Amino acid sequence: MHRGFVGNEPWLLMGDFNVSLRIDESTASASSSSIAMREFQECVDRLSMSDINCSGFRFTWNQRPRALSGTLKKIDRVMGNDVFIDRYTNAYAVFYPYRISDHCPAVIKLPLTRSAKPKPFRFANFVTHHEDFKQIVSNAWVNEVRGHALFRLVKKLCMLKKPMRKLMWCKGNIHTKVVECRAKLDVAQKHLDDDPFSIQKLSWSVKLLRNIMKVGDSNSRFFHKVVKSKANRSRISAVVDSNGNFIEGSEVPKNTISDQQAALMIRPVTTLEIKEAFFNIGDSKSPGPDGYSAAFFKEGWDIVGDDVVQAVKEFFSYRANAKRC
């Protein structure tokens, strides 16, 4: 009822929900979700809510231990709808120590600094099925770009955004097409129900169903909600340094690791490892902030693969090369 009242406005839910969402949010051993957990998940899904980016304590409630036994659970949450996450991209929550209470205090942070930015480029996976997709990629990729491999790759991807936007625009409004395809599919299936032995109607129904799958829900409003939600959760708003100090806000970027620690994180990678890494990413996942999904790299690997491999290898060896320059 409250969701209907809120409408298309930002909405935030926070507090003690008295039940976890997932099995791993409790130290108590359990092999399956309880009825309460499943009902809570259904409620969250119907409201289109998701956890905003948070830091601090993972388990927000503790059952006072008797003897040596006790239980820790995450039953306190801060959740926002997709409008909230889209509008308040810098928002995050901190769960502080519970001290004398059995619940962690949850504090929502809403930084006031928010600059207006144009909508970022997002590659729609259905474009890979277009007959002109590879030709357009090839046309952009033949441009000569001078500089480091990573710079060349980024520059070519940037040059490709304009023709990709044009191609997506030529395909029309994807959400409208999905609605139209579903309506046609309903008609086709009704005809098929009236005449089950009509091969022509059966083929029509299957063809329409494939069109819907191509245009699909991976490019729908729900997909963009998932992308925004993931981007919000993946941002680092607070850290704990090696001395145990809690750092948040503008001080976070200053908390760096040593050169020796950074060197331990780098090792030579092979062409096969790089290709397998890309092809193991889900099609709707984006490996970076450039807006290109993994499906783009998979479908265009025979064109862009060499540049991607060179850029990744250069990334791991760039610091050593820079020292020699």
Q: How far apart are CA 59 and CA 79, in angstroms?
A: 16
Write out the two tokens for 314: 């250069």
Q: For the chain, state the CA radius of gyration.
A: 25
Q: How far apart are CA 92 and CA 121, in angstroms?
A: 24
* Angle, CA of 228, 304 and 226, to the nearest 5°: 10
Q: Residue 280 phi/psi, 5° resolution?
A: -90, -5
According to the model, what pLDDT value does residue 320 have? 43
pLDDT in tens, 138-188: 998 988 888 888 899 999 999 999 888 888 777 656 667 777 777 777 777
Q: How far apart are CA 291 and CA 297, in angstroms?
A: 12
Quote the domain boundaries for residue 239.
125-171+219-324
Token pair 């304009």: residue: 162
Closest CA to 242 of 216, 215, 261: 261
Q: How far apart are CA 59 and CA 95, in angstroms?
A: 9
Whether 310 and 237 map to the same domain: the answer is yes
Whether 262 and 296 map to the same domain: the answer is yes
Q: What is the chain's mean pLDDT, rounded?
A: 79
Whether 141 and 273 map to the same domain: the answer is yes
Whether 158 and 249 map to the same domain: the answer is yes
Is 119 within the bounds of a domain? Answer: no
Beta carbons of 82 and 48 less than 8 angstroms apart = yes
Is 45 within the bounds of a domain? Answer: yes
Q: What are the residues facing 81 on neighbouring strands?
A: 49
Q: What residues in the chain have per-residue pLDDT under 70?
A: 64-69, 113-119, 171-175, 189-234, 266-267, 285-288, 318-325
Using the CB atoms, write b or e for 204-240: b if 16+ within 10 Å: bbeebeebbebbbebbeeebebbbbbebbeeeebbee
Number of domains in the chain: 3
According to the model, what pLDDT value does residue 324 have? 38
Whether 204 and 271 map to the same domain: the answer is no
Whether 156 and 283 map to the same domain: the answer is yes
Query: Would you call 141 exposed, middle or buried from its count of C-beta atoms within 10 A (0-12, 13-18, 19+)?
Result: middle
Query: Against a cut of 0.85, is the pTM above it?
Result: no
Whether 20 and 142 map to the same domain: the answer is no
Whether 143 and 203 map to the same domain: the answer is no
252 φ/ψ sector (left φ>0, alpha ψ -120 to 50, else beta): alpha
Write out the two tokens for 276: 């397998």
Is 115 within the bounds of a domain? Answer: no
Q: Residue 102 phi/psi, 5° resolution?
A: -100, 0
Closest CA to 235 of 109, 48, 65: 109
Q: How far apart are CA 314 and CA 148, in angstroms?
A: 8
Beta carbons of 109 and 55 less than 8 angstroms apart = no
The number of helices, as runs of H, and strands, as runs of E, in the chain is: 12, 10
Token pair 């990709």: residue: 164
pLDDT in tens, 215-234: 554 454 545 555 566 666 66
